[in-house]
Chain A
């Protein structure tokens, strides 16, 4: 749901941004980013032993390149795509190198240029002869349906045998919470999932501030909402600058943690102390949050354009010194830092903690739970004959082997990356000095810049950011102790999800609309109770019940 909403706000053309729309999250699982993912998890859980036993029984040693004459066809929903300057995958270093390393010739196809990806996917499904592998984002409910319709293989029995490294990966400690979401309700494994190494990969939005102004005015980094207000007032008086943001960035999480609220303008569900699923916007804390926003709006502390600004517009105001505090993403922060250097504005943007109800209190931050998986997976279709299925799975397994992991993330050593004195991969000049820009260049050599059939390493992401942005992510991850309140990736039955999405369309609209009106004062906060009542009238309780049921099933 969240992903959808963001993309709507970004407009039509941004449908693809869904791919990246996963909202970041912090949780107890604070892996150090320098930890190489290839390092084996040292804890041998029962589960792992079990699976290894299974695997040992039949799995054969897989050595790459594979000795096979099979060729595979794969359709990918615009991920793992060669950069635009190549005519097709046969020119792309990553794709040709992958074929070489795995010993399997793969024919890559994608939706036609400029096509609507979801539509292309649906048309694909109507064909009699499907490609061997489909890489797309599916929910487990949809996957179950596809298995029942005989479109894709149920991989439960095949994975431990023919994709042992993948099997091992998903049974690692850090992904124990996720394992359940990789199967359908009836416990079938339906594909090889894309993974993120740590919460670093999926955390990318948070508060940022002009540190140079704070220093000039001798102010501390704000912690509570009162601090925020003081800083905003000081910024306004001294620099005429405000709090300005792109609402899509703020919508899910925002700075509600300052009052203990769990969301801004987009509906957000969380689990309360009693294990009950609740809607953030129906709580008193959220009312307080809105009261702050309204107060700041009236005082002129919030940029009046914030409601309609997109990233580009925010960036303009940032460059012109009209914004002093914001809420944004690393990629934007990287751009701002670049602008400030290029124009010599002297602006020093840094990321800082989410606000707290009081100093020393936990931030009560709630981001989407870091789940490891991003919901993208490679499914093998039944058009692939059973003997070729083995090659397909071995090929899919490559991204989860030690060697394959490095290749999918950094390309070839000595070509696109080298190991620095700490043994950390760094991009070579071939990448950093590429005339198409470093970000395009990375995509030429790696397959995990978006989502790939591998694990996206945190270090790979980090070395793509400007330093300030890379550091900001650590700030945003730190001290987010409220992850227990995070809803896990629960799965609903077909009927539940149909009813749920029906109810939620109206509720989403109403919350977003009224939330903003609370902020601007078009609707008085005295009407908050009426607002909650209206929500109930729209079937909020039923939506909560559906969520609760799915959550309870998950917890079992």
Chain B
């Protein structure tokens, strides 16, 4: 509040504009989200009556949630997802930093070749079946390792990391070399503390990608009790949709069918939303380069 000293008129106008824009953004973002939440607490018959602006469920019910939670393997799948996250996040972050550091370094004879080799995989892949056979031959098939190791380095994220490392003045690492440090020490002592915000972003990117992924598991996992949460959620959605649209056989209709998908979204979103506040503190400005050095 000390900063209030003397504010110019321009600053006031500037602030007002900013707040108006942000509040508008919040409303526009929130309404559809709210819509999802309202639908998840409704029953399907009521949904059919909603038109125009919907602010509150017609008849509040937890029926859809109950149906999702009654899925026999939902809880096991939560556990699997957590295990995959615990296993893959440290691995991903470490390898990505290593990759980013190499890409940001200069003066190696083989740098171009190695970076080219890595970048190439952004565009070309062997495809589904060779990938599947590869995982099988490595003995990873139908284990959680198949969800942890493949995909643990994203080239895209490595480039993000590389860009962050490049913003660190070279003089810092050079003085470390003169003090007799090697590259590994430089990474841990100098680089890592300085790219904390980027590490937070990478954690978020990897974490959310793993959290949302169902495809890898649908190929590499056979046992239902090893599947991650998204596969179960997806199965709930799919079954529900078949039920709604199958024709010919039976009415296949239940009260929560339509609301199920909204409840499933809420359930699969809330836990990952909780991570953000913990990472948020790394995004506050003021990480001063000088401060870390001393």
Contacts and interface: CB of A to CB of B under 8 A. Distances in A.
Complex A–B touching at CB under 8 A: yes
Interface in A64-99: 84-88
Interface stretch (B92-100, B223-231, B285-293): B223-231
B219 A88 contact: no
Contacts of B244: 311-312, 331
A20 B251 CA distance: 13
Contacts of A84: 71-72, 235-236, 239
Interface stretch (B44-52, B109-117, B154-162, B274-282): B44-52
Contact of A126 (B50, B129, B235, B254): B129
A363 B247 CA distance: 23
B38 to A, nearest CB: 15
Contact of A114 (B51, B70, B235, B255): B235
B248 A122 contact: no
Contacts of B238: 13, 16, 114
Contacts of A331: 244-253
A19 B217 CA distance: 24
B230 A114 contact: yes
A469 B48 CA distance: 20
A119 B219 contact: yes
A373 to B, nearest CB: 14
Interface in A289-310: none
Interface string A204-219: 1100000000000000
B248 A311 contact: no
Nearest to B243: A439
Contacts of A114: 214, 217-218, 227, 230-235, 238
A501 B202 CA distance: 44
Given A112-B221, A112-B222, A113-B235, A439 B250 contact: yes
Interface string A428-458: 0000000011111010000001100000100
B253 A312 contact: no
B49 A202 contact: no
Interface string A456-479: 100001001110010000000000
B242 A14 contact: yes
Contact of B254 (A13, A205, A436): A436
Contacts of B224: 87-88, 112-113
Nearest to B130: A126
Interface string A1-42: 000000000100110110110101000000000000000000
B133 interface: yes
Contact of A10 (B222, B234, B245, B253): B245
A330 B247 contact: yes
Contacts of B251: 330-331, 334-335, 438-439, 464-466, 469
Tell me whether chain B's interface is mostly helix, strand or loop, or mixed.
helix
Interface in B26-80: 45, 47-51, 70-73
Interface stretch (A143-151, A314-322, A533-541): A314-322
B145 interface: no
B218 A120 contact: yes
For the side of the interface on B, what is the size category?
35 or more
Given A316-B51, A319-B48, A437-B254, A204 B248 contact: yes
Given A86-B72, A112-B231, A113-B227, A13 B241 contact: yes
A229 interface: no
Contacts of B231: 112-115
A20 B241 CA distance: 12
Given A114-B230, A316-B51, A202 B45 contact: no
Given A14-B245, A84-B71, A84-B239, A316 B252 contact: no
A223 B196 CA distance: 74
B4 interface: no
Contacts of A492: none
A264 interface: no
Contact of B73 (A20, A87, A204): A87
Contact of B128 (A88, A119, A469): A119
Interface residues of A, number: 61
A456 B251 CA distance: 15
A201 interface: yes
Nearest to B70: A85
B249 A123 contact: no
B102 interface: no
Interface in A99-146: 109, 111-116, 119-120, 122-123, 126
Q: Is the interface of A mostly helix, strand, loop or mixed?
A: helix
Interface in A386-433: none
A461 B246 CA distance: 13
A530 interface: no
A292 B289 CA distance: 74
Given A87-B72, A112-B217, A113-B235, A342 B45 contact: yes
A386 to B, nearest CB: 27
A174 interface: no
A481 interface: no
Contacts of A450: 246, 249
A93 to B, nearest CB: 15
B148 interface: no
B87 to A, nearest CB: 20
Given A114-B227, A439-B254, A319 B249 contact: no
Contact of A330 (B71, B241, B248): B248
B226 to A, nearest CB: 9
Nearest to A462: B250
A19 B246 contact: yes
A378 interface: no
A329 interface: yes
Nearest to B133: A126
B246 A464 contact: no
Interface string A318-353: 011000000001111011001100110000000000
A91 to B, nearest CB: 8
A70 to B, nearest CB: 23
B218 A461 contact: no
A331 B222 CA distance: 33
Contact of B253 (A119, A202, A335, A442): A335
Among B49, B219, B249, max chain A CB count under 10 A is at: B249
Nearest to A113: B235
A173 B227 CA distance: 47
A116 B234 CA distance: 11
Interface in A350-389: none
Q: Which 6 A-B pairs have the closest CB atoms?
A: A114-B234, A464-B250, A115-B218, A113-B235, A329-B247, A114-B231
Given A87-B73, A114-B238, A331-B244, 6 more contacts: A115-B219, A126-B132, A201-B249, A311-B245, A331-B249, A339-B45
19 contacts: A10-B241, A14-B242, A20-B248, A84-B236, A111-B218, A113-B73, A114-B238, A119-B128, A119-B219, A123-B132, A201-B248, A319-B48, A329-B248, A330-B248, A335-B253, A438-B250, A449-B249, A449-B250, A461-B250
